[in-house]
Amino acid sequence: MKNIIEILKGIINIIKQLLKDPIGRIGFIGVFIIVLLSIFAPKIAPYDITEMFTKSKLVSPNGEFIFGTDNFGRDVFSRIIYGAKVSLQVGIISVGISATFGYIFGIVAGYFEGVVDSIIMRFMDVLFAFPSILLALFIVSVLGPSLGNTMIAIGIVNTPVFTRTVRASVISVKSMEYITSAKSIGLKPINIILKHITPNILAPFTVQATLALSGAILTEASLSFLGLGIQPPDPSWGSMLSESRKYMERAPWLAIAPAVFIICTILSFNILGDSLRDVLDPKLKL
């Protein structure tokens, strides 16, 4: 219980420091709004995402339809809100997958080094050799387009980044005197990793996770734009952009709304990640 209280105090302190920085405040508020939209999507969205107003197709933004309607007569605002829920869900779960495997591979490679390190890092180099979007496209093409497969693909694509981040941090921390002392008194590697190494690599790990969220959301939007991500009738900002191409001149709001939300969401996560880096490691602050 005491550890939980200390963790909560640490989180509150980090949030306070973020809010003191004007740039960090913008990023935090932006992410907070996206999270609220995702959690309360059923309460905020005025209409069901599949409800079609046959007499109100391609209606421009007005008092009844804030962002207008699409070619099927569906409320764009409602679909944007639910799209935020899908994007955040994909981002969190896919980053969770990549962070978990990246942590395991990075810890093993960085702590034990030698042959194990070489095998793991050469495999990561192979994954790094492919552009992330092309690798994600290949994985989704093999597994089939769906929400679950999209999250798996993005998780695999981001794993090398986490592995390298964790490995570099472990190698740096492992050379410290307290690690040498822990080894000299006979502590098992698992105890050293969990009690002494992990707490000291959380800062770069957390920053990387925050930045990876924006990349995961962009990749999901790209896959959905190409028809290999979230499948209809589930809304996705990428698929909404794709559907709007036929009506760019007649109904530009169909493209503007999802594009603005994609840009603002990715920008918010990037700003939050940069500010979080400065808070957790002031030495990196320019």
State the pLDDT confidence band at 163, using cuts at 50, 70 and 90: very high
CB atoms within 10 A of CB 220: 28
Check residue 178 and give its pLDDT: 77
Name which of 262, 235, 237, 226 is nearest 134 in CA terms: 226
Residue 156 has pLDDT above 80, yes or no: yes
Q: pLDDT tens digits for 100-129?
A: 999 999 999 988 888 888 999 999 999 888
Q: Contact 276/14 with Cβ under 8 angstroms?
A: yes
Using CA atoms, how far apart are residues 201 and 22, in angstroms rounded to an integer? 27
Q: pLDDT tens digits for 134-152?
A: 899 999 988 888 888 999 9
Residue 286 has pLDDT above 50, yes or no: no
* CATH architecture, range 2-284: Orthogonal Bundle (1.10)
Q: Contact 111/78 with Cβ under 8 angstroms?
A: no
Residue 285 has pLDDT above 60, yes or no: no
Residue 282 has pLDDT above 60, yes or no: no
- For residue 67, the 8-state DSSP code is T
Domain boundaries, the chain: 2-284
DSSP string, 200-249: GTHHHHHHHHHHHHHHHHHHHHHHHHTTSSSPTTS--HHHHHHHHGGGTT
Check residue 281 and give its pLDDT: 66
Q: pLDDT tens digits for 41-90?
A: 889 989 988 888 877 788 888 888 899 888 888 999 999 999 998 889 99
Kindly report which listed range (83-87, 174-178, 252-256, 281-285) carries the lowest average pLDDT score.
281-285
Residue 3 has pLDDT above 80, yes or no: no
Using CA atoms, how far apart are residues 71 and 272, in angstroms rounded to an integer? 36
Q: Hey, what are 1's tokens?
A: 């219980």
Residue 266 has pLDDT above 50, yes or no: yes
Q: pLDDT tens digits for 170-208?
A: 888 887 877 777 777 777 878 888 888 888 888 888 888
State the pLDDT confidence band at 1, using cuts at 50, 70 and 90: low
Check residue 103 and give its pLDDT: 93
